[in-house]
Structure 1
Amino acid sequence: MAEMIYDFAIAGAGMAGASLAAELAPYASVLVLEAEDAPGYHATGRSAAFWEECYGGPGVVPLTLASGRYLRENGFLTERGALYVGRGEDRDQVDEFVDTFSGTGVTIERLGRTGMAARVPHLRKEWCDAIWEAACADIDVAGLHQHYLKSAKMQGAQINCRARIAGLNRDAGVWTIATEAGDAYRAETVINAAGAWADNLAQLAGAAPIGIEPLRRTVVQLRVSPAAPADLPLVLDINGAFYFKSDNGRLWLSPHDEIPTVPCDAAPEELDVATVIDRFQKVTDWHIEAVERRWAGLRSFAPDRLPVYGRDPHQEGFVWFAGQGGFGIQTAPAAARLGAQIILGHDADDLTRGIDPAPYNPSRFFTIAAASQSSQASGDM
């Protein structure tokens, strides 16, 4: 019996790999190779995810807005609302925020102290200027991930865990994929949905790395007195120094940090925990009774902080689906549909029709590199 050659082998079974597998499986044979014991161990499994229209910046807004309808219609969102808060000296930053998102399609409202205090109890009085985003909602991350894994499997995709890729070799239009466990697979196209390990996988394939950088983010769970209200909105600093939200009477708090690191099983550091608690105490007068949990995850960004979807311009049979930063879950439905359409050559549909794929094409990095090299060569003449 001839060895099976898959149409696509996807590296990674987190939200990116699972959602893309579900979109590709109706049209092709799909193999998903996950390095860990179970899908979603890293970024997906550690997310405090919310669907927030402004998160990721204007370049991500089209993906977020397109995904919102899918998430809402399929029951993956719970309304919460988001409040970007600032002090008197932050007025320019609040103004800039409004200007940045004007015309992008997001719905935001300027609030003063009275509106802020009505939504967030225990806010210290110097916090007096804000942006209200009513549409912000929590995402059922585990439910969404399982939805895509189940869909992929039902449509014939094979998902193998404990299958960390150790070698990639292409011959006669087919990849031979070797794993650390000693298994070997064959596929016509390898799709890089490896998250923090995306550049490492590219190098195994003989492709040039893009410069996707893993960044560590810390979250702590606090028990506070009085207990955090269930209807507390997501509260974010307009300068990006913290965010917090309620969860079953507790508070989830993050310093909104982005600490460069190597790809790894991320763990929180005491300095980051102490830093965010200090910041929180300068924002609210809540009494902290205990730090009950702490964890960290990796967010992986391309140099321009936009995702990377599409075929590598120089390595045949190698596709990027990576660099989705902290917005990979809130954009998953539109990103996966768009990615599959790019890979398969399909036309846009109702979900993706308003999204221009050009800003996410990996060729943008190689064009920049080529232009830089040409400029340097001209300067040496």
Structure 2
Amino acid sequence: MTETADILIVGAGIAGIGAGSEAAADASVIVLESEPRAGMHATGRSAALFIRNYGNATLRALNAASAPIFEAAAEFCDGPVLGPRGVLQIAGEDELAALDAYADGAAGLTRMTGAEAAKIVPILRPERIAAALHEPDAQDIDVDRLLQGFQRRLKARGGRVDAGARVTAIAREGGVWRIETQKAVYEAPVIVDAAGGWADELAGLAGVAPLGLVPHRRSAALLPAPGGHDVSRWPLFGTVTETWYAKPDAGKLMVSPADQDPVTPHDVWPEDMVLAEGLDRYARAVTEPVTRVERSWAGMRTFAPDRTPVVGFDPSAEGFFWLAGQGGYGIQTSPALSRHASALLTGRAPELPEAVVAALAPERLRA
């Protein structure tokens, strides 16, 4: 039996589920997921902060467009998805140029000394900090609540997620895409490539040229609260050049080496040496030693060559839509990207500024 829809979305991470939940208001949508459930890779392993000043100009515009949707998320989630956190970025003498670059065009930042930074995070060594930036308005994102909210809205609008549906073949005939999976056969005039680290591979199955999307590993370790401190009110803190960062996590401290090593798409795991080197960089910046690692994990962050997401129809393949390359910005930009993707998929005018729409379009990478 062949399942049909107006739109088939391949990939049930935050991107695919979010876009599907928006598009389902105007079209029939089926989201295909190879894993047993949604959000098992990058979405489920994200540090998940909403940092308005994070990323290039296009990403900052997406952050701004996402803010009011996040603030109203209780309308489709079972409660608010944002909570207080803050971000503290520190810099040594050799990182001051990077600190200045981050502050350029940013809003809501307070520049401070090492001593002032150590009052916020008392384990920091002030003598190692030439300057710091504090962004108190950065917020935690409840990723699971957001994902579940998107899924409920998708279902309420008549869409669905078919898990365990690994794609084995894709072809286009008579203006319709035909996707064969381990579960069933699906047909639709439009398919959305929201396959994360596998996005270029999926395009290849469809006979569409890749865009040069590359997945990168990002590792993390969970440590006991350092020195018995109550870390619950600490901000995320780390170097502005992203050589490591730390974030409170349920009374403990999650520390990442901020690695971004290119990998082939797979269920990634941390490399022991990379993790050890990152923990050493963290340990040299603080007064409390790393006593033990309770657990560690890794996830994928997939980037386009220009480090900007790709959203739009491929100019060389009718009905093939890219929703990929979100990198480390996928959760915090998902409200705006979901709404933008839905507008393009259903023929509505985009709400984003023209320059942002062009910066996201896949044709920029086809030149």
TM-based fold match above 0.5 = yes
The match for 2:348 is 346
The match for 1:194 is 195
The match for 1:375 is none
The match for 2:300 is 298
What do residues 28-54 of structure 1 show as CA deviations (whole Å, max 9, x unaligned)? 011110000111110011111111122
Aligned-residue CA RMSD in angstroms?
1.6
The answer on whether the counterparts of 1:228 and 1:246 sit within 8 Å (CA) in structure 2 is: no
The match for 1:76 is 81
The match for 2:25 is 26
The match for 2:168 is 166
What do residues 239-273 of structure 1 show as CA deviations (whole Å, max 9, x unaligned)? 21011111222110001110111000011111122
The match for 1:55 is 54
Bigger mean CA offset, 352-361 vs 259-268: 352-361
The match for 2:116 is 115
The match for 1:85 is 90
- Whichever residue aligns with residue 202 of structure 2, its letter is L
What do residues 251-300 of structure 1 show as CA deviations (whole Å, max 9, x unaligned)? 10001110111000011111122111101111101132320010000000
Structure 1 residues 22 and 355: alpha-carbon distance in aligned structure 2, compared to 1, 3 A threshold? farther
The answer on whether the counterparts of 1:225 and 1:289 sit within 8 Å (CA) in structure 2 is: no
Deviation at 1:91, TM superposition (A): 2.4
The match for 1:378 is none
Structure 2 Cα separation of the partners of residues 201 and 3 of structure 1: 20
Structure 1 length as normaliser, TM-score? 0.91
Aligned with residue 237 of structure 1, among 210, 230, 239? 239
Deviation at 1:131, TM superposition (A): 1.1
The match for 1:284 is 286
The match for 2:99 is 94
- Whichever residue aligns with residue 5 of structure 1, its letter is T
Displaced runs of 4+ in structure 1, greater than 6 A?
Answer: none
Deviation at 1:107, TM superposition (A): 2.2
Matched, 1:43 2:68: no
The answer on whether the counterparts of 2:14 and 2:147 sit within 8 Å (CA) in structure 1 is: yes
| SS of residue matched to 2:7 | strand
Deviation at 1:5, TM superposition (A): 2.8
Unpaired segments of 5 or more residues in structure 1? Answer: 368-381
Deviation at 1:108, TM superposition (A): 1.6
The answer on whether the counterparts of 1:42 and 1:298 sit within 8 Å (CA) in structure 2 is: yes
What do residues 322-353 of structure 1 show as CA deviations (whole Å, max 9, x unaligned)? 0000100001101100111122221245xx46
The match for 1:9 is 8
Deviation at 1:354, TM superposition (A): 8.6
1:218-257 aligned at under 5 Å gives the runs: 218-223=219-224, 224-257=226-259
The answer on whether the counterparts of 1:5 and 1:188 sit within 8 Å (CA) in structure 2 is: no
The answer on whether the counterparts of 1:76 and 1:144 sit within 8 Å (CA) in structure 2 is: yes
- Equivalent pairs counted in the alignment come to 359
The answer on whether the counterparts of 2:303 and 2:327 sit within 8 Å (CA) in structure 1 is: yes
The answer on whether the counterparts of 2:5 and 2:29 sit within 8 Å (CA) in structure 1 is: yes
What do residues 22-80 of structure 1 show as CA deviations (whole Å, max 9, x unaligned)? 00001001111000011111001111111112222222001112112221332111111
Deviation at 1:134, TM superposition (A): 1.6
Aligned with residue 319 of structure 1, among 312, 318, 321? 321
The match for 2:76 is none
Deviation at 1:17, TM superposition (A): 0.5
The answer on whether the counterparts of 1:43 and 1:298 sit within 8 Å (CA) in structure 2 is: yes
The match for 1:365 is 365
The answer on whether the counterparts of 1:207 and 1:315 sit within 8 Å (CA) in structure 2 is: yes
The answer on whether the counterparts of 1:189 and 1:317 sit within 8 Å (CA) in structure 2 is: yes
Structure 2 Cα separation of the partners of residues 147 and 355 of structure 1: 30
The answer on whether the counterparts of 1:228 and 1:251 sit within 8 Å (CA) in structure 2 is: no
The answer on whether the counterparts of 2:3 and 2:185 sit within 8 Å (CA) in structure 1 is: no
| SS of residue matched to 1:209 | coil
The answer on whether the counterparts of 1:22 and 1:155 sit within 8 Å (CA) in structure 2 is: yes
| SS of residue matched to 1:35 | coil
Structure 2 Cα separation of the partners of residues 41 and 316 of structure 1: 30
| SS of residue matched to 1:48 | coil
Deviation at 1:148, TM superposition (A): 0.3
| SS of residue matched to 1:37 | coil
Structure 2 Cα separation of the partners of residues 136 and 359 of structure 1: 25
What do residues 88-115 of structure 1 show as CA deviations (whole Å, max 9, x unaligned)? 333232223223xx1x5x3222111232
| SS of residue matched to 1:151 | helix
- Whichever residue aligns with residue 207 of structure 2, its letter is G
The match for 2:212 is 211
Structure 2 Cα separation of the partners of residues 11 and 291 of structure 1: 36
Structure 2 Cα separation of the partners of residues 148 and 279 of structure 1: 38
Structure 2 Cα separation of the partners of residues 319 and 277 of structure 1: 40
Structure 2 Cα separation of the partners of residues 115 and 288 of structure 1: 24
What do residues 307-336 of structure 1 show as CA deviations (whole Å, max 9, x unaligned)? 000000001110000000010000110110
Deviation at 1:3, TM superposition (A): 5.1
The answer on whether the counterparts of 1:226 and 1:286 sit within 8 Å (CA) in structure 2 is: no
